[in-house]
Structure 1
Amino acid sequence: MDPQKSPPQPSSATKITRTTSSGGSGSIILEKYQLGRLLGRGSFAKVYHATSLDDNTEVAIKVIDKATTVDAAMEPRIVREVSAMRLLDHHPNILKLHEVMATKSKIYLVMEFAPGGELFAKLSRQRRFSESTSRRFFHQIVSALLFCHQNGIAHRDIKPQNLLLDKKGSLKITDFGLSALPEQKIDGLIYTACGTPAYTAPEVVYRKGYDGSKADAWSCGVLLYVFLVGSIPFDDSNLANMYRAIQRRLFEFPPWVSKPARNIIYRLLDPNPKSRLNLDELIKLPWFKRSFSQESLVSHEQQFLGSEFLDQKFRYLSIINAFDIISMSSGLDLSGLFESEMNRKEMRFTSKSQVEEIEERVLKIGGELGYRIQRGKGGGIGLVKGRVLLVVEILQVARELWLVEVKVVGGGGGGDLQWEELKSGLNNIVLSWHNEPLPG
């Protein structure tokens, strides 16, 4: 359950702002937005239609009541949603996050408004889609997911309820609360189970390491079946029976589903992720390319999956916007909205040293402390010791000013991470420290 698209163009820099309003229909938030009708509600938030008081444009605002709905389980979900949406801001089929506002009791996520509502509602009215309509929506889903995967993010909850339609009928993927971010992976795999059982890949449930992009590919297979048939392929209230059917691929096609579409669904719903059709292979198949020129897809990928975005896996030497700076700065870290220490296995500092000097210093200190050095594809630095992985990211804030982040992304942060020794060794290139890591 999430918002929806609109005419308003997002500002060049998403920002965090404080508000004095208590929220609710009819409320004025920070003298900027007036809340309108309730669009929907989920497990921890309500979503309202709202209007900007500046230019009368429409937005959707997710209102999260921290006192009644935010607990230890929900905090990381909200942080993940914001983090994922700000990294994926540049794709036309992913709902945009405009800004984040907060009070002591509430958090407001201001997003695009999608007046077409949930695709689920449209599907419920029509029972099923024609093959051409199914393919059009399927193109948009796959394009958006390829962009997510190229940025190291797996959605993990793809289903019709999380797909919205804008005023032109184009699709918008939303609800990234269950997504897996790059820093959650260990050796490239995800180890947490989540999602909606009827749409979730079988390997996710087994709690072993799995490839998030392959799990999303499975969900795409379920979606395409639902689009064409009007029901889910595996439907049993007894989960054990459902997973037995999944392992044996016990589902049937009605006669109106074409042979090429059946083949794609069957290959996507392969219970073995190693032999499952992946999305890079899918886009090359004739059925997928029909009524959609391959040149257009290639151009689309170059625009949204090009080198400047591929490098965001490490976000190395990238220019970051005001949202990044504000959310990383002391006292305004988004995690601080929850008064939690969940994201403090990290340290950040600014430096005016040359990038080469910063790199050289990090490599020297890491080596002296017994870390093994790894290089990311985008040029980032990994420091490895046992099952602990520290990722060092260098981001340009302004001319001759760099933000350096050292963050635990593997091994759960156990053992002696030697924060004080790292900090002491880096001090001679530090302009100022922006947070202090927790010990251990």
Structure 2
Amino acid sequence: MGTPTPPPSAAKIRRTSSSGGSGSIILEKYQLGRLLGRGSFAKVYLARLLDNPSAPEVAIKVIDKAATVDAAMEPRIVREVSAMRRLHHHSNILTLHEVMATKTKIYLVMELAPGGELFAKLARSRRFSESTARRYFHQLISALRFCHQNGVFHRDIKPQNLLLDQNGLLKITDFGLSALSEQKIDGLVRTACGTPAYTAPEVISRKGYDAEKADAWSCGVLLYVFLVGSLPFDDGNLSNMYRAMHRRAFEFPDFVSKSAKIVIYRLLDPNPNTRLSLDELIKLSWFKKSFSQENLRSQGSDENPTGSEFLDSKQFKFMPRVNAFDLISMSSGLDLSGLFEEETTSSKEIRFTSKMEVAEIEEKVSKAGLEFQYRVERRKGGAMRLVKGRAVVVVEIWGVAPELWLVELRLVDGAAELGESQWGELRLGIGAIMAQ
């Protein structure tokens, strides 16, 4: 789907007293259409831009702020926005275009996926052929590896959270239960969440776990569901179900190929230390069979290749002109403005704004990196990274207003190797060079 026109400045937007239902005008910018779905604290509507009726329609999630307070949903919404902000422009991840708010409502403006849930298609088919399952699985793994490379761990992968666009391309959605890399303690995530039948057994323990390996387990469950049409572990008694997971007590029908069984069996390893990782998965013959760049490429755009993620586990995307979120101050409750503060909320992130040209910003960041013995790398698509030993710092530049850029440097690997003193030196060095 295309991207709506850039939002007007917050100063030009007047708040609306609309109830937020079908037919409502949202902040003089969008008109809501028919209801697409509803949850306990939100409704999703079809919507169109008022000043550009020919622009692609979008989906707007309307969240009742009072309900989020009652349901303690504020952290989930912040996580969802923060995660999706990092994941722009991968063709298998649903795009969040912007965030708006009134005194009583929050509006998440998202890409429309008119194909609906993959779950519905699976229910109609009962199960997928191996070639169809592999095609969707390719797209899922491409998107998840991109998430992991950008410090986002989904933790709730299931058919209901996979949508289809108008061309049948898979889109991951619902990052409300995701974890971010800065939430790790000693490299591990410690919060339990997810849908039990799809959740790795170590997640429910009170110990830390590897979130990448937890997502890999969910992929194994999903591939089984794709091919068999039922869950490998399904018991109303959760204790019994998790005992079955630890024993790998599931069976394969005869029609599942031997190579597919091996993939699933290795993904559903109850020991996360020996479980197949996604980087290992893409090297297996079953996964690579019938693989082509063409069937994974974003349809209608040459700027969004998705197949190359399988070839390079260190690839990061870089899109210099993207729709920034229109973050509006809220009168009470949820406040998303901190997502774009100049002072970073994480000790392993550096954020600042600049009115320089993108090329000049890149040149100055490169100069600072070289001064502190980082290797400057340019990746396919224009991605920029600073590398020192195992430490990898991703550089992203976002357009947040005309002639204003948000620059973010994020440590995504090698935190143990890069101490606080070296990180502080890099921060100060960049500040000094940018001021020149």
Cα distance change, pair 185–333 in 1 and its aligned pair in 2 (3 A): farther
Letter in 2 for 1:9: G
Matched, 1:44 2:45: no
Do the aligned partners of 1:335 and 1:341 also contact (CA within 8 Å) in 2? no
Letter in 1 for 2:324: F
**Partners in 1 of 2:118 and 2:22 — Cα distance?**
25
How far off its partner does 1:181 sit?
1.6
Aligned to 1:281: 280
Do the aligned partners of 1:88 and 1:148 also contact (CA within 8 Å) in 2? yes
Do the aligned partners of 2:322 and 2:398 also contact (CA within 8 Å) in 1? no
Query: Size of the alignment, in residue pairs?
Result: 390
Aligned to 1:149: 148
**Partners in 1 of 2:129 and 2:195 — Cα distance?**
25
**Partners in 2 of 1:295 and 1:249 — Cα distance?**
36
How far off its partner does 1:50 sit?
2.1
Do the aligned partners of 2:114 and 2:165 also contact (CA within 8 Å) in 1? yes
Cα distance change, pair 104–392 in 1 and its aligned pair in 2 (3 A): farther
How far off its partner does 1:241 sit?
0.9
Aligned to 1:140: 139
Name the TM-score, length of structure 1 as normaliser.
0.73
Aligned to 2:53: 55
How far off its partner does 1:37 sit?
2.0
Q: Deviations over 1:246-293 (max 9, x none)?
A: 000000111111111111110000011111111111112121122223
Identity %: 65
Q: Which moved more, 1:213-222 or 1:202-211?
A: 202-211
Name the TM-score, length of structure 2 as normaliser.
0.73
Aligned to 2:26: 29
Cα distance change, pair 16–269 in 1 and its aligned pair in 2 (3 A): farther
Cα distance change, pair 350–48 in 1 and its aligned pair in 2 (3 A): closer
Aligned to 1:82: 81
How far off its partner does 1:239 sit?
1.0
Do the aligned partners of 2:62 and 2:107 also contact (CA within 8 Å) in 1? yes
How far off its partner does 1:231 sit?
0.9
**Partners in 2 of 1:65 and 1:12 — Cα distance?**
25
Within the candidate set 324, 332, 338, 2:334 is matched to 338
**Partners in 2 of 1:286 and 1:334 — Cα distance?**
52
CA RMSD after TM alignment: 4.5
Letter in 1 for 2:33: G
**Partners in 2 of 1:276 and 1:290 — Cα distance?**
21
Q: Deviations over 1:322-374 (max 9, x none)?
A: 626x65xxxx468986158997957976579965998899x9xxxxxxxxxx9
How far off its partner does 1:404 sit?
7.7
Aligned to 1:263: 262
**Partners in 1 of 2:398 and 2:108 — Cα distance?**
26
Aligned to 2:248: 249
Aligned to 1:65: 64
Cα distance change, pair 276–428 in 1 and its aligned pair in 2 (3 A): closer
The secondary structure found in structure 1 opposite 2:36 is strand
Cα distance change, pair 264–355 in 1 and its aligned pair in 2 (3 A): closer
Letter in 1 for 2:208: G
Q: Where do residues 321-336 of structure 1 align in structure 2 (5 Å cutoff)?
A: 323=324, 327=327, 332=328
How far off its partner does 1:168 sit?
1.7
**Partners in 2 of 1:61 and 1:402 — Cα distance?**
26
Letter in 2 for 1:47: V
How far off its partner does 1:321 sit?
5.0
Q: Deviations over 1:405-438 (max 9, x none)?
A: 89999xxxxxxxxxxxxxxxx999998xxxxxxx
Q: Where do residues 354-369 of structure 1 align in structure 2 (5 Å cutoff)?
A: none
Cα distance change, pair 111–404 in 1 and its aligned pair in 2 (3 A): closer
Cα distance change, pair 51–272 in 1 and its aligned pair in 2 (3 A): same
Do the aligned partners of 1:128 and 1:230 also contact (CA within 8 Å) in 2? yes
How far off its partner does 1:302 sit?
7.4
The secondary structure found in structure 2 opposite 1:104 is coil
Q: Deviations over 1:7-37 (max 9, x none)?
A: x411475788654133111222234332222
Matched, 1:193 2:192: yes
**Partners in 2 of 1:427 and 1:261 — Cα distance?**
52
How far off its partner does 1:97 sit?
1.4
Letter in 2 for 1:10: T
Letter in 1 for 2:184: K
Aligned to 1:10: 3
How far off its partner does 1:126 sit?
1.8
Cα distance change, pair 64–251 in 1 and its aligned pair in 2 (3 A): same
Do the aligned partners of 1:15 and 1:322 also contact (CA within 8 Å) in 2? no
The secondary structure found in structure 2 opposite 1:281 is helix
How far off its partner does 1:79 sit?
1.5
Q: Deviations over 1:118-159 (max 9, x none)?
A: 111111122111111111111111111111111111111000
Do the aligned partners of 1:38 and 1:49 also contact (CA within 8 Å) in 2? yes
The secondary structure found in structure 1 opposite 2:100 is strand
How far off its partner does 1:242 sit?
0.8
Aligned to 1:119: 118
**Partners in 1 of 2:307 and 2:228 — Cα distance?**
33
**Partners in 2 of 1:235 and 1:15 — Cα distance?**
49
Cα distance change, pair 335–217 in 1 and its aligned pair in 2 (3 A): farther
Letter in 2 for 1:323: A
Cα distance change, pair 104–285 in 1 and its aligned pair in 2 (3 A): same
Cα distance change, pair 168–350 in 1 and its aligned pair in 2 (3 A): closer
Aligned to 2:177: 178
Q: Which runs of 5+ in 1 are unaligned?
A: 1-7, 364-373, 382-390, 410-425, 432-440
Q: Which runs of 5+ in 2 are unaligned?
A: 298-303, 378-384, 413-429
How far off its partner does 1:46 sit?
0.9
Letter in 2 for 1:40: G
Letter in 1 for 2:157: I
Do the aligned partners of 1:270 and 1:276 also contact (CA within 8 Å) in 2? yes
